[in-house]
Structure formats: structure tokens, C-alpha cells
Amino acid sequence: MEIEYIETFPLLYELSEPYGDANGYKKYRSCFLFKITTNDGIHGWGECIDWLPTIEKGFNERIIPYLIGKKATDRTQIVKVVKKWNKRAASGISMALTEIVAKSAGLSVCELWGGKIRESIQVYASFQSYSQDKNWVNHSLQLIDQTISKGFDQIKIKIGGRTLQEDFSHIQAIQSMLEEKIYLALDANQSYDFSTARKWERYFKKWQNFLWFEEPIPIEQISDYKLLRGNISIPIAGGENLTSTVQFLPLLINGAVDIIQPDIMHENGVHEYLETLHLSRSFGLRSSPHTFDGPLSRLYALFAQACLPPWSKMEKDDIEPIEWDVMDNPFTSLVSIQPNNGCLMVPDGIGIGTEIDIELMEKYRWDGRIYH
């Protein structure tokens, strides 16, 4: 079962209206999908995200020539080599090879991983709250209202990109509109220091519907995370940009967070991602995946959550939710599995249990021009 050829699908979509978070505004959404096919006709899909000119050049000149002729079953060695060149490409390749191995055995990805424990997983609606509209708060409220009408009962809101008072007013407006009936996570994208982050406690004590406080301070400030965790009344979450299981250890050993948020596209492949999830269970902690950037990586996060043991005996019938991008992004529809009333059903089919929408990919195929 040797790799015979690889097709690449670089995708670009320019936003009509930029949106963003504490890191700035997005002007476009991009996605890099690829299809690996073996000499016996089995194919698997992979996905990564990077600046398209860079990742396309890397695939054409180095990664594809290396992959041709390799055994698809040699996943560990292949990922080990490719991650030296591009870690995100290595993660995507591990997805594609995982699907190929599952298909060759006549199994779903969940069956390959030991079998799913649950049939559906909750998702939370993830917003990029800031816009260039002068009335950005009203614009945000409209988006939230439209999303809640589709059945979501958990949402994530961005903070840290405006003054504290502006963000406080935004959250107050949301709470007033939703009458505190919807669960909220607040994501600061590492934009505060300890003393500023702690000021949010006055609101955490006031309202009872917060899910977690996400990356309020730089993730490497472990001692401040531990101190903050002891000074606020809601869970602290983080870790989306960490690239290996080892990097999560300081957070876990020092009791710095309540919830880890690994992203499969940022870690060194599918297997390391799974190791990170199971490590959180060894520490009795929750794992709610970060999956904002890609439909295929979100699907693999769904499979992993379906197979993951519960984090405590008290929560044996529940599982942490997965992030669902509800902003303007056509690539969310590249896979047919979509939420219904805030839940995703886990597919049963062979491999990933669905196909990628080729027609949609061709519509948004990047034309090779430089973009910013």
C-alpha cells in the first residue's frame, strides 16, 4: 500500500467585511486540503493551514516528492520526518494516512481508535466578536441572535481587543439579550496581565452562566495562571497553540488550568493529539478542542471526543463540547456533517464517513495571486 500521488487544493475566500479578535482583523479565510492516494486506489484527506504560497511551495518541492513511494502504514516515521519541515503539514498528513489505514481495514476512524463511546457531541458557536462597524456591539448581538435561533445553547465571545469597559458593556448587552439562558465562554487571546484579568471576577460572581475564561494571559506565564485560577470563580482554559503533549505538561503539573484546548492542526499529528487528550484524563481535567480553522480537523476532533473516556465519574454521561465556527466562512460546509440544535452526530461510515465537497473546493480554489 504505497503512496502513488497527491492532489492539493489551496482555497481562499476574501471576506466582504473583516472580523476579528484581540489579535486583529481577518480579511480572508484560507484552507489547504490535499488528497493522498495509494497504488491500490485507497485515498485519504488531509488539511493544514498556513500562508498558501508557502505551504503550496513546500508541498510541491519537498513534501510530495518525499511521500511518493512511501508505505501509507509507515505513519509514525513519515510524520516524524515531515514535522521537521512543517508541523502543520505533518498533522494533515497524519489525518490522511489515518483515513487510508482505516479504509484498508474496512473500519471507521472511531473503530480504528478503539470504538466510539457516544453517538453525538455538543458544539459551541464560536464568534469573532469585533468588526470595523462603529456599532460593533449591535452587529455582534445580531450575529449571536441569528445563531441562537438555530439551536445553539453554548457560545464563545471574544474579549481583549477593546478597552475593559467596552468589553464589559458588550457582555452585559449579551447577557441582557439572552437573559442568561445561554452559556458563555470568554476568550481573551492572551491579551491581559494578571491584575487586568482578575477584574473580570466581578462579573463572574454576578452571573452564573459562564463556561470558562479562555487564555486571559500569555500561556507561558504558568505561575500567573495558577494564581489567577485561585482568584476567580469559573474554570480557566487554554493551550490551542501548543504543539506537543510535552508542552501541555507544565499547565497540568502546576494546576494552571481547568480545561486544556489542544488543536489537532497545531500538534505533531493525530497520535500526539490523542496522547494530549488522554493525558488530561490522567490529571482528571477536561479537554475542549480548539477547532476554529478547519472543517477536517474539526471532524477529527469529533471522532476523538466520541472515543474519549469521561473526565470524571460524576460526568460519565457527558463530554466536553467542540468549537464550531459560525462566522462568514464557506469552508465550514466542505463536509456535510453539520450541527443540529447544537449537536453533531458522529458518522459511522468507513474512514471519515463522508466525502469532501469537490464542487465547493473548485469554486474557491486559490488562483496563485499574492494576498495579505
DSSP 137-153: HHHHHHHHHHHHTTT--
Q: Which residues, in sequence order, are bridge partners of residue 155? A: 125, 184
Query: 290, 313, 363, 372: which one is catalytic?
Result: 290
Concatenating the DSSP letter of every residue in 36-102 gives EEETTS-EEEEEE-S-HHHHHHHIIIIIHHHHTT-BTT-HHHHHHHHTTT-HHHHHHHHHHHHHHHH
Closest C-alpha to 264, from 246, 282, 237, 239: 239
- Write down the catalytic residue from 156, 158, 170, 266: 158
Phi, psi (deg, nearest 5) at residue 247? -70, -20
Question: Grid coordinates representing 160?
Answer: 481583549
Cα–Cα distance, 320 to 235 (Å, whole number): 13
Task: Identify whether 278 is a catalytic site residue.
Answer: no
CB 347, CB 109: distance < 8 Å = no
**Rg (the chain; Cα; Å):** 20
| DSSP code at position 180 | T
User: Strands 343-345 and 120-126, how do they pair?
Assistant: antiparallel
CB 214 within 8 A of CB 192: no
Q: State yes or no: is 57 an active-site residue.
A: no
Cα 102 versus chain centre, distance: 23
DSSP collapsed to 3 states, 103-125: HHCCCEHHHHCCCCCCCEEEEEE
Distance in angstroms (rounded) separating the CA atoms of residues 361 and 94:
21
List the beta strands (DSSP E) in the chain.
3-21, 24-38, 43-48, 120-126, 130-131, 154-158, 183-187, 210-214, 236-238, 259-260, 286-287, 322-325, 343-345
Give the distance from CA 19 to its chain's centroid: 18
Residues noted as catalytic: 158, 290
